[in-house]
């Protein structure tokens, strides 16, 4: 049953590889939980069994640490989907997870770094103008300049980038969650960094490999991995004296700085590749907080 449901998620729902890996891990834990309770089929599961699983996620055990609300909510979502699938396929005559709600999550505002900190980060791409330094600078400029997820950036191929001949800009074709593609503009800085990398660095790095269309290459000439891109960012952050910087934080900074500059939230939604504007609207809370800070610091009647 589990393998059929995962195949359904892969083929028909088109979930991202990372999401599928998380669902697979959560559901295998759920199947083990049911087995420990003596349940061999979906038809035998009762609502109390699902509730007990949720409790075990939050409490943890000798083999698993307690999950935070967001991770437990993801696991419950996977379980609910599995039971809906079992009901639809006729494997079970009822849905015991229908009334089980995931734990409520505290709304966490995205963290962003300032424009000045972004500039310090990119300036710390590496020493000199070696091929890898040029690659690192281009990668960081693309991450911040397009708001791309790290998986989208390393998934780029050379043909996914268009550099306009008559302007300093260009565009990139990003492939997001669920295989959804979107076109995002490349600003002047990202375009200049990519020009330097593609002309002066990538051919030299590619000579170490067997040939690939990947835009960003590792030192052996193959496609740069997510882990490799993460290490590039961490090294630059350390040299820049910044802590806690992640690829997703650059994405948050991209959105926050756009909204601070007056961009419409629906434009930011399209650039980020969010399916719903509700996801994007959390950034408007960040900018409102920023407005309050500026008001409190600058207005003569704001002080208490």
Identify whether 274 is a catalytic site residue. Answer: yes
The CATH number of whichever domain residue 58 belongs to comes to: 1.10.150
Instruction: Catalytic residue, from 25, 248, 266, 292: name it.
Output: 248
Domain shared by 21 and 129, yes or no? no
Q: What is the pLDDT of residues 30-65, one digit of tens each?
A: 999 999 999 988 999 999 999 999 989 888 877 888
Domain shared by 68 and 147, yes or no? no
Q: What is the pLDDT of residues 200-249, one digit of tens each?
A: 999 999 999 998 999 999 999 999 999 999 999 999 999 999 988 988 88
Identify whether 101 is a catalytic site residue. Answer: no
Identify whether 189 is a catalytic site residue. Answer: no
Instruction: Catalytic residue, from 33, 135, 149, 252: name it.
Output: 149
Identify whether 149 is a catalytic site residue. Answer: yes
Contact 268, 280 (CB under 8 A): yes
Contacts 24+ apart (CB under 8 A), 127-132: 129/196, 129/200, 130/201, 131/200, 131/201, 131/202, 131/204, 131/205, 132/201, 132/205, 132/219
The CATH number of whichever domain residue 240 belongs to comes to: 1.10.443.10
Domain shared by 140 and 283, yes or no? yes
Domain shared by 84 and 119, yes or no? no
Instruction: Catalytic residue, from 5, 23, 30, 283: name it.
Output: 283
Helix 247-260 × helix 115-123 angle, to 10°: 140
Contact 73, 57 (CB under 8 A): no
Identify whether 213 is a catalytic site residue. Answer: no
Instruction: Catalytic residue, from 84, 111, 177, 226: name it.
Output: 177
Partners of residue 183 on adjacent β-strands = 173
pTM score above 0.75: no
Instruction: Catalytic residue, from 33, 74, 83, 251: name it.
Output: 251
Q: What is the pLDDT of residues 165-174, one digit of tens each?
A: 767 778 999 9
């Amino acid at each position: 049953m589990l393998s059929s449901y995962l195949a359904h998620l892969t083929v028909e729902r088109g979930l991202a590889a990372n999401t599928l890996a998380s669902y697979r891990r959560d559901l295998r834990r759920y199947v083990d939980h049911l087995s420990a309770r003596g349940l061999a089929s979906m038809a035998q599961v009762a609502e109390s069994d699902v509730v007990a699983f949720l409790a075990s996620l939050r409490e943890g055990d000798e083999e698993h640490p307690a999950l935070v609300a967001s991770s437990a909510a993801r696991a419950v979502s996977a379980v609910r989907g599995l039971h809906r699938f079992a009901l639809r396929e006729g494997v079970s005559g009822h849905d015991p997870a229908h009334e089980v709600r995931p734990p409520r999550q505290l709304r966490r505002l995205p963290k962003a770094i300032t424009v000045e900190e972004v500039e310090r980060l990119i300036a710390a791409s590496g020493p000199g103008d070696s091929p890898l330094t040029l690659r690192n600078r281009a990668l960081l400029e693309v991450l911040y300049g397009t708001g791309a997820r790290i998986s989208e950036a390393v998934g780029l191929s050379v043909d996914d980038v268009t550099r306009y001949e008559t302007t300093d800009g260009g565009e990139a074709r990003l492939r997001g969650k669920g295989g959804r593609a979107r076109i995002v503009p490349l600003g002047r800085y990202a375009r200049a960094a990519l020009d330097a990398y593609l002309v002066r660095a990538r051919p030299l790095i590619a000579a170490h490999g067997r040939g690939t269309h990947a835009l960003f290459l590792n030192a052996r000439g193959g496609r740069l991995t997510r882990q490799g891109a993460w290490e590039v960012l961490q090294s630059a952050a350390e040299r820049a004296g910044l802590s806690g910087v992640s690829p997703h934080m650059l994405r948050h900074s991209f959105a926050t700085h756009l909204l601070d500059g007056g961009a419409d939230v629906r434009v930011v939604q399209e650039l980020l590749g969010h399916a719903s504007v509700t996801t994007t609207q959390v950034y408007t809370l960040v900018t409102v907080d920023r407005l309050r800070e500026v008001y409190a610091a600058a207005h003569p009647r704001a002080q208490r």
